[in-house]
Chain A
Amino acid sequence: GENVEQHPSTLSVQEGDSAVIKCTYSDSASNYFPWYKQELGKRPQLIIDIRSNVGEKKDQRIAVTLNKTAKHFSLHITETQPEDSAVYFCAASSTGTASKLTFGTGTRLQVTL
């Protein structure tokens, strides 16, 4: 089955700096890669996703890049703000009738003033 590794487990940045979280996956059939944000005491919520037919996707201060050859994908947050502080999870899935998500172990991002 799929295995997703995520690094780092914790990340502290100063407000205004950029943050990068990296994930690798094992199953070459995976072609859907979402990122979820979980604020303290809240449920995970999708912030951005990418499918394998594109290499990069942006949404305001958030971007995701995908390298299918190397089987890794990354989340980039620019101009970080205190409200970006949360736990971020990457995930991977193949498509098709039996598809399901495999999550990484999470990155706790702390944005300091």
Chain B
Amino acid sequence: DADVTQTPRNRITKTGKRIMLECSQTKGHDRMYWYRQDPGLGLRLIYYSFDVKDINKGEISDGYSVSRQAQAKFSLSLESAIPNQTALYFCATSGNSWKTSGGMDEQFFGPGTRLTVL
């Protein structure tokens, strides 16, 4: 089945370390997203990409960077991790009907990466 995968699933790191979270999808979707989930705060958008050459900041992009290496791969980096970046991180993709209808498609989420920064 076409899916969205994330690696690693869990990571514990120390303050100041560089961390990369990876996302891959086999759905053939152009659009990919990175979200952060914190208790009581819901899902907040960090970065999103509508194709390989298009990267956009979300509402909480400070302290993060991304790379869209290919249509199927979208990586999130924390250049110098800090404790308040401890959270559950989700990658998501959405379909391509916007190309013809301009509509918004269902987002499909990966399994999440639980990151702890000590």
Contact = CB atoms under 8 A, between A and B. Distances in A.
A72 to B, nearest CB: 17
Contacts of B103: 32, 51, 95
Interface in B74-110: 90, 98, 102-104, 106-107, 109-110
Interface of A: 1, 6, 9, 32, 34, 42-46, 49, 51, 89, 93-106
Contacts of B50: 97
- Nearest first, the 4 A-B pairs at minimum CB distance are A105-B42, A43-B109, A103-B43, A32-B104
B58 interface: yes
B102 A89 contact: no
B45 interface: yes
Contacts of A9: 40
A82 B33 CA distance: 31
B42 A43 contact: no
> Of residues B42, B50, B111, B112, which shows the largest number of chain A Cβ atoms within 10 Å of its Cβ?
B42
A32 B98 CA distance: 13
A93 B58 CA distance: 14
A89 B35 CA distance: 14
